[in-house]
């Protein structure tokens, strides 16, 4: 059983999020997604997400390609999460390239190309200006 783990906020879900989750799932037999908590997002990005952590977890767990979700409370716990979930591979978008190489002692680390021309930040900006 090849277990793939990935992480993200997945706020205002868009096709770039769905594509990376589908591509991650295709690399193994089971996809486990760590969804950033509201507090972690505030620490990372200086703002609370548009959708609450409860709603983001609900949305991600409803996707066909996702087998399991959990809350990512802290970036520092990533190694613990990977061990707890017996990850065969950590998959992240290439905006994080090199940043998680330290986990190569726990599992394979794979960076996939981001989907161009779409981001939550841009969606928020377009709506703000509408």
**Residues at the site binding ligand C2G, with contacts judged by CB under 6 A:** 7-10, 16-17, 20, 36, 72, 75, 92-93, 95, 114-115, 118-119
Query: In the complex with ligand C2G, which residue's Cβ is closer, 3 or 100?
Result: 100
> Rounded CA gap, 53 and 11, in Å?
9
Bridge partners, residue 30, by sequence: 3
> Rounded CA gap, 31 and 108, in Å?
14
State in angstroms the smallest separation of the CB of 101 from ligand C2G. Answer: 14
Query: How many residues comprise the chain?
Result: 130
Residues with Cβ within 8 Å of 81's Cβ and at least 6 positions away in sequence, in order, are 5, 7, 34, 70, 72
State in angstroms the smallest separation of the CB of 128 from ligand C2G. Answer: 18
Query: In the complex with ligand C2G, which residue's Cβ is closer, 74 or 86?
Result: 74
State in angstroms the smallest separation of the CB of 97 from ligand C2G. Answer: 10
Question: By beta-carbon distance, which residue lies closest to ligand C2G?
Answer: 93
């Amino acid at each position: 059983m090849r277990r793939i783990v990935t992480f993200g906020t997945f706020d205002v879900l868009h096709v770039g999020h769905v594509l990376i989750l589908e591509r991650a799932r295709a690399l193994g037999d089971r996809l486990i997604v760590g969804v950033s908590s509201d507090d972690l997002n505030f620490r990372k990005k200086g703002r609370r997400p548009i959708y609450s952590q409860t709603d983001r977890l609900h949305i991600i767990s409803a996707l066909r390609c996702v087998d399991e979700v959990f809350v990512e409370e802290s970036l520092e716990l990533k190694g613990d999460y990977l061990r707890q979930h017996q990850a065969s591979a950590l998959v992240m978008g290439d905006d994080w390239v090199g940043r998680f190489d330290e986990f190569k002692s726990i599992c394979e680390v794979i960076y996939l190309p981001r989907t161009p021309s779409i981001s939550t930040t841009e969606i928020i900006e377009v709506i703000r200006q509408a």
